[in-house]
Amino acid sequence: MRINKFLAHAGVASRRKAEELILSGKVSVNNVIMTNLAYQVEAGDRVEVNGVAVYNEESVYYMLNKPRGYISSSSDDKGRQTVMDLLPKGKERIYPVGRLDWDTSGLLLLTNDGEFTNMMTHPRHGVEKVYIAKVEGQANKENLRPLTLGMTIDGKKISPARYEIMRQDKVKNSSLVSLTIHEGQNHQVKKMFAAVGLPVQKLSRVQYGPLNLEGLAPGRYRRLSKKEVSQLMNAVKQ
């Protein structure tokens, strides 16, 4: 296996970032600095990054129905609950693919495959994510139209999104809206709705590519099948 692919599968970085690590002299094989991008890692080779040994574990993929109140991180220096607290101790060394806010619930992927993570999260790959948002105010075609045209948030261009108005509550002055996006920038969905005057009150991600939460209760997780992983990879735009 080529050394950049080895590092990506080990969860160190994407293949491109792994190449940068190699060319910068931060990777060694059998105690020798390795700068040959074509090097094939063989059984028994000791690969290190910045002096720390790297092991290419079996790639594993999980789906979690994240409840509100958990940080999408492997650890938290403030002692808050993380999504890893929902998995049994001793589970393979995995980490969240992207993140959901502390107060956002729904579908979260976890893996130890760095290349897979990059493919799922990089905006250019365009994997669709579907959110259900309870927003303050009455959603309609007029105020939601900017979402379908593409927006600029925090100086970054956001791709056009699709929406569906699921319910309106005139008594409580709220609406339930489904929004499909292709990126995953920090607080993106909340900022998009805020930009059109509809602050988010509650938010959940219900679909990631072809996967949804059917049969998976809040706080529960399951391992993805090979077919489901292939479906996710097929959802990536090249």
* Active-site hit among 45, 85, 101, 113: 101
The CA angle 66-72-78, to the nearest 5 degrees, is: 125
Residue for token pair 């909340």: 190
Residue pair 198/172 in contact (Cβ under 8 Å)? The answer is no
- b/e 152-163 (16+ beta carbons within 10 angstroms → b): ebeeeebeebeb
Instruction: Report the greatest alpha carbon distance in the chain.
Output: 70
Q: Is the dihedral of CA 112, 113, 114, 119 positive or negative?
A: negative
Record the tokens describing residue 17, joined without a space: 């970032």
**Residue 95 dihedral angles phi and psi, to the nearest 5°:** -150, 160
Active site annotation includes 113: no
- Supply the residues annotated as catalytic: 101
